[in-house]
Amino acid sequence: VTPVSSLAESWKDLLARARSKQLKPEEYSSGTFTISNLGMFGVTSFKPILPPGCAAIMSVGASKPTAVPDGNGGVKIEKQMTLGLAADHRIVYGAQAAEFLRDLKEIIENPYQLLV
C-alpha cells in the first residue's frame, strides 16, 4: 500500500509536467481509471463517458452552497459537490464501484482519518 503522502507528491509532479506538456506517452496512454474534472469550469454535475479500454471514469463537479438540516430542526448551508462513476461491468462489479464511491465520500468528509 502506497502512503497518501507519496501519492500526493506523485500527483503534484504529474500535474506540473502535464500542464507544461512534458508527460511521456506511456504516462497518459494506458490508464485503467480516469478522473474527469469539469468542476473547475463551474459544471456542478455531468455523466462521464467511459473511454475504450478503461475500467472506470469518475466525474468531479464543482462545489456549491446547499441547504442541509442542522440536526436541531433548522437549516445550515454547506458546500457540496457531485461525484459520478461509470464503470465497465465486465471488469468492475457495480457493488464494488458503489463501495468505492462510499469510501471516497467518507475520506472527503473526514480527511483526518487518513492520518490514523
Nine cell digits for residue 13: 509532479
Local structure of 6: helix, strand or coil: helix
Catalytic residue among 47, 76, 89, 102: 89
Q: Is 89 a catalytic site residue?
A: yes
Looking at 4-93, which runs of residues are DSSP E strands? 33-37, 56-60, 64-69, 75-80, 83-87
- Across 15-47, b (16+ Cβ under 10 Å) vs e yields eeeeeeeeeeeeeeeeeeebebeebeeeeeeee
* Residues recognised as catalytic: 89
